């Protein structure tokens, strides 16, 4: 039998123990939201700040109001919805995720977490359940970063970690970031006001689909995330010598694509055979001149390394540099490996992980602890608040694709875990002295969501 956290007993067992979310309402809303940006056989395309995204935001704001929340748009374009007590200056319990998608994505990534958070708020209101902290539900803007924009834009704004480079971003279509943010009611001239000080968020919890096959493979209901993987992105440029494919003998070639092929296989071995990191991927290969009858003269490949251990990532970087030097000598090419991005691993708060595990056990659900291979807004929020995540199974492990799907029972289970955690919630173990959360009085007055759900 699990050991109940003594600090949670009064809230959890007296108030949240027998109350469940309205699963039918949650699944109905998920279907309604999933139709926005969908096309038959092509999945859901709801890129951040697009007309489809704006329509989805309006619908979500309507749901927030039905749940008794007061939504507004912060300067970064995040939708922040507070209950009445969340303006008291007390540290808040925040639930959230995102609703933007990749092109041709699915209806579950992010949306499950947002709608479950709203359902928790509505269930709390309808049943007059006391909360340990005032509740805030957040829809983070532009988690995906699929338009050439910075991924996890909204959570970086909330954490105060946007850089001048981020703010100056221009999309692949030539749109400046300030124009995109303004289209949903944000205001980059006031971006500093989007940041929450350390201590203002007492706890952050996020429900998410796994986006992988582990839970389904092991026939487990719930994944309690122990940490969100760090990521290293390396660009490898390989310079050989373009030459005629018919007249250049094999022993006299400097074939950049052959070198790239060897690197790709060696990168697989870094994770698969040497076990230096959890996963290692080469997802693209740009060949110049890219003609069937020319020996390739130049190739660029990106390497993606992920692990929850920073030391493992450092060792993998060293291995990449060593193997590229060896392959350059073997193939008479020049190879340059440049680290272009580095995201630190983010451990989830152990007290909150135990709380989520207890909620799962009370619901008689099977669970495992697991790492998150994908990045999430929770990863950024860990820099300013204790945070934890719950995963539910993804059918066939598919995500970011039209066939992305999670079963209704698992979605409702995940929402019930959030409800129990919210009504039994204890402060995270790394809580810092509280500072008042942003009140956003000016933002709420100038950019409050209109009656149709849009930001005025």
* Binding region for Zn(2+): 98, 109, 144, 208, 400
| Signed CA dihedral, 456, 81, 33, 217: sign only | positive
**How much of the chain is in helix, strand and coil states, percent to nearest 5?**
40, 20, 40
Residue from 372, 375, 301, 383 nearest 343 by CA: 375
Alpha-carbon torsion, ordered 116, 119, 125, 131, to 10 deg: -10
Q: Which residues pair with 347 in a beta bridge?
A: 227
List residues forming the annotated binding site: 98, 109, 144, 208, 400
Q: Which residues pair with 72 in a beta bridge?
A: 80, 448
Q: Which residues pair with 391 in a beta bridge?
A: 208, 223
Residue 94 Cα to chain centre, angstroms: 15
What distance in Å separates the CA atoms of residue 331 and residue 321, rounded to the nearest whole number? 16
Question: Which DSSP state fits 12?
Answer: I
* Peptide bond between residue 289 and the one before it cis (omega within 30 degrees of 0): yes
Number of CB atoms found within 10 A of residue 24's CB:
10
Alpha-carbon torsion, ordered 376, 380, 382, 388, to 10 deg: -10
What distance in Å separates the CA atoms of residue 216 and residue 354, rounded to the nearest whole number? 22
HEC letters along 310-371: HHHHHHHHHHHHHHHHHHHHHHCCEEEEEEEEEECCEECCHHHHHHHHHHHHHCCCCEEEEE
Strands (E) in 376-442, as ranges, are 387-392
């Amino acid at each position: 039998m699990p050991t109940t956290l003594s600090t949670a007993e009064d809230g959890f067992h007296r108030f949240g123990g027998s109350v469940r979310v309205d699963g039918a309402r949650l699944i109905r809303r998920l279907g309604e939201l999933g139709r926005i940006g969908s096309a038959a056989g092509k999945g859901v395309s709801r890129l951040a700040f697009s007309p489809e995204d704006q329509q989805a935001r309006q619908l979500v704001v309507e749901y927030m109001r039905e749940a008794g929340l007061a939504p507004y748009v912060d300067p970064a374009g995040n939708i922040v919805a507070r209950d009445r007590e969340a303006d008291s200056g007390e540290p808040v319990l925040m639930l959230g995720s995102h609703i933007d998608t990749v092109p041709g994505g699915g209806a579950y990534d992010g949306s499950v977490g947002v709608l479950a958070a709203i359902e928790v708020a509505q269930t709390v209101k309808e049943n007059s359940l006391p909360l340990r902290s005032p509740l805030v539900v957040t829809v983070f803007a532009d988690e995906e970063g699929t338009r050439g924009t910075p991924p996890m834009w909204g959570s970086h704004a909330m954490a105060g970690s946007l850089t001048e480079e981020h703010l100056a971003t221009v999309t692949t279509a030539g749109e400046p970031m300030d124009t995109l943010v303004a289209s949903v009611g944000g205001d980059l001239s006031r971006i500093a006001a989007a940041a929450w000080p350390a201590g203002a968020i007492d706890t952050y919890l996020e429900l998410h689909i796994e986006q992988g096959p582990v839970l389904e493979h092991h026939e487990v209901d719930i994944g309690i995330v122990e940490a969100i993987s760090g990521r290293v992105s390396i660009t490898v440029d390989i310079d050989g010598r373009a030459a005629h494919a018919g007249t250049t003998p094999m022993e006299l070639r400097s074939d950049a694509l052959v070198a790239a092929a060897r690197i790709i296989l060696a990168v697989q071995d870094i994770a698969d055979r040497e076990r230096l990191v959890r996963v290692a991927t080469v997802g693209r290969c740009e060949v110049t001149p890219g003609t069937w009858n020319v020996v390739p003269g130049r190739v660029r490949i990106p390497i993606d390394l992920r692990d929850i251990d920073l030391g493992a990532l450092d060792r993998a970087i060293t291995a990449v540099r060593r193997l590229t030097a060896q392959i350059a000598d073997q193939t008479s090419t020049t190879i340059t490996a440049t680290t272009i991005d580095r995201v630190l691993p983010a451990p989830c708060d152990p007290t909150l992980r135990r709380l989520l595990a207890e909620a799962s056990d009370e619901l008689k659900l099977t669970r495992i602890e697991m790492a998150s291979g994908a990045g999430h807004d929770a990863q950024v929020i860990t820099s300013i608040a204790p945070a934890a995540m719950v995963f539910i199974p993804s059918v066939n492990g598919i995500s970011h694709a039209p066939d992305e799907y999670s079963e209704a029972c698992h979605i409702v289970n995940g929402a019930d875990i959030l409800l129990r955690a919210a009504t039994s919630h204890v402060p995270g173990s790394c809580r810092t002295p509280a500072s008042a959360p942003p009140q956003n009085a000016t933002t709420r007055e100038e950019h409050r969501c209109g009656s149709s759900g849009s930001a005025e």
